[in-house]
Each structure stands twice: as C-alpha cells, then as structure tokens.
C-alpha cells in the first residue's frame, strides 16, 4: 500500500500517478463498497468463465468511459471543476443508496422489471440481459460517477489539476478509470480460475449459481443501506 501511495504522489510520469490514484480510489471505503457490489454482480455466472470476464471488462469499460467524459468536459469545456464535483457528489448522496437497494430488490425478484419485454427476442434477452453484460457496463458508468468526498478529492483535487497541467492530459482520466476498476477484474478472473478447478463438481456449481443471484441481491441492499445510513447520519 505504501508503494501505491508513493507512486500516486511522487512521480514525474503522470500516467503512473493517474493509475495508482485509481487504485487508491478503488480500495478507499466508499468506492470499495460499490466495487464489492460490482464484483458480486459480474460474478453471478461464475461457472461460465467467459461471461464473468466479459462482464468485469465491461464494468471496467463503463468506469473508464465515465471518467473520460468528465475529464474531457473539464479540460475542453472550461466547466468549473469544483462545481462539477459538488454536483456529482450530490447525485451520489441522494441517489446511490436507494438505487442500490432497488437493484437488490430486483435481483431478489421482489421488484420485477423486464426492459426487453416485447422489444427483443427471448434469445437476445438471454444473451445480454441474463448474462448481465449491459448491466455491467451501465453499473461501471454509474458507480464511477457516484463520487464520495474522498474519491472527489483524488479525482478533482489531485488528478484533474495534474491532467490540466500535463500535455495531452486528457489521457489521464481513462488511465485513472482503469485503476479504479482493475481490482474487480482481477478478483473476478481469480474467482473464475478458482471455480474452474472445481470442474468435476459442475452440477453443484450450477445449483450454487441459482442461489448466487439472491446473495448478490442481499449484497446490493447491504451496500445501499450503508450509503443511506451515511446520508441519514449526516442530518444529525
């Protein structure tokens, strides 16, 4: 961890600083909670290695896209970094907790929604909806924009000033995004590798997968409650 801190703080190679700032963001309290929820989600078909790897890479891509867009907006549009930071923290404050709880209730089938109903064939629903690929991409995008005060300091307070001062610094936010999502990819891949060793017990794994959706729902609700409690506590 000290190595990560020193790399994030003390380098004349902005790309490395950006990457390690991303890693620091990923393991700090609030982003860690959302990354745990994301890991649970991308691993829901853990016995299907390709699906888990694609889902985790799409989650990473969603995060990279979000930070790239925000970074480019700040660099090219002249929008005030502090105003954008305060706006996004407000979004996180009010929406993230309830959103996670609702998503958890959907996973538990307490709330039933089918966005593909009557619009695409059942085959497409199975390929995309059930495999969670689009969900992973959207989740990465939304979670990246859910800045907490600490991740806002790292992105808006440390990374963006560095990006603005660096030639072609618009390349730094995507690198930062890779750092924030990489732990999820690594853990998801590790999970699938561990699971593949149990290939003989594939029937048992498939039974576990059915219950995994419920576990994921509970994880999402738990993380959502954490954010809601933080919000409620702030008023007292």
Partner 1 sequence: MSMSKRIMVVAVSLLLLAVLVAGCRAKQKSDSSNGNISKSEVEKVELLYFHPRIRCLSCNNIEKYAQEVAVKDFSSKMKDGKLKFESLRIEDPANKALVDEFDVGGSSLYIVASGNGKKVHHPIKDVWLYWDKEGKCKEIVRNELSEYL
* Residue 177 CB partners (closer than 8 Å, separation 6+): 22, 60, 63, 64, 65, 66, 67, 68, 144
Shortest Å, Cβ 166 to partner 1: 5
Q: Tell me the chain's radius of gyration from C-alpha atoms.
A: 19
Interaction of residue 83 with partner 1, rule CB under 8 A: yes
Q: Which is nearer to partner 1, 89 or 125 (CB)?
A: 89
Shortest Å, Cβ 165 to partner 1: 5
217-236 positions binding partner 1, by CB under 8 A: 230-231, 234-235
Q: Which of 48, 49, 91, 93 binds partner 1 (CB under 8 A)?
A: 93
Q: Which is nearer to partner 1, 94 or 207 (CB)?
A: 94
The closest of 145, 159, 152, 185 to 65, measured between CA atoms, is: 145
Which range, of 44-52, 76-84, 121-129, 207-215, touches partner 1 by CB under 8 A? 76-84
Helices 29-42 and 202-233: angle between axes, nearest 10 degrees: 150
Q: Are 48 and 122 in contact (CB under 8 A)?
A: no
* Residue 51 CB partners (closer than 8 Å, separation 6+): 45, 131, 132, 133
Q: What burial class does residue 177 get, using C-beta atoms within 10 Å of its C-beta: 0-12 exposed, 13-18 middle, 19+ buried?
A: buried
Interaction of residue 99 with partner 1, rule CB under 8 A: no
Interaction of residue 78 with partner 1, rule CB under 8 A: no
Q: Which of 22, 23, 24, 45 binds partner 1 (CB under 8 A)?
A: 24
Which range, of 40-48, 104-112, 155-163, 213-221, touches partner 1 by CB under 8 A? 155-163
Interaction of residue 79 with partner 1, rule CB under 8 A: no
The closest of 18, 3, 9 to 171, measured between CA atoms, is: 18
Give the count of beta carbons closer than 10 Å to the beta carbon of residue 213.
16
Q: Which is nearer to partner 1, 14 or 224 (CB)?
A: 14
Q: Which of 12, 77, 114, 121 binds partner 1 (CB under 8 A)?
A: 12
Q: What is the C-alpha separation between 137 and 139, in angstroms, rounded?
A: 5
Interaction of residue 85 with partner 1, rule CB under 8 A: yes
Shortest Å, Cβ 41 to partner 1: 22
DSSP character at residue 203: H
User: Contact residues for partner 1 (CB under 8 A)?
Assistant: 5, 8-9, 12-15, 18, 24, 28-30, 80-86, 89, 93, 147-150, 152-154, 156-158, 161-162, 165-172, 174-175, 230-231, 234-235
């Amino acid at each position: 961890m000290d190595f990560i801190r020193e790399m994030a703080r003390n380098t004349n190679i902005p790309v490395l600083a950006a990457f390690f700032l991303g890693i620091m963001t990923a393991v700090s309290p609030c982003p860690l909670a959302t990354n745990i929820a994301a890991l649970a989600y991308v691993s829901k078909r853990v016995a299907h290695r390709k699906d888990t790897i694609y889902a985790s890479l799409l989650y990473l891509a969603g995060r990279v896209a979000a930070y790239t867009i925000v970074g480019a907006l700040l660099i090219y549009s002249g929008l005030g970094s502090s105003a954008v930071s305060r706006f996004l923290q407000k979004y996180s404050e009010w929406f993230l907790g309830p959103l996670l709880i609702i998503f958890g209730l959907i996973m538990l089938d307490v709330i039933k929604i089918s966005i593909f109903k009557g619009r695409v064939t059942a085959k497409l629903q199975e390929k995309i909806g059930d495999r969670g690929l689009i969900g992973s991409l959207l989740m990465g995008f939304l979670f990246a924009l859910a800045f907490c005060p600490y991740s806002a300091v790292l992105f808006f307070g440390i990374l963006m000033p560095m990006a603005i001062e660096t030639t072609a610094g618009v390349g730094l936010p995507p690198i930062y995004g890779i750092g924030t999502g990489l732990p999820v990819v690594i853990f998801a891949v590790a999970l699938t590798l561990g699971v593949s060793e149990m290939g003989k017990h594939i029937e048992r794994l498939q039974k576990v997968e059915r219950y995994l959706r419920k576990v994921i729902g509970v994880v999402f609700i738990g993380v959502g409650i954490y954010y809601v409690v933080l919000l409620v506590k702030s008023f007292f």
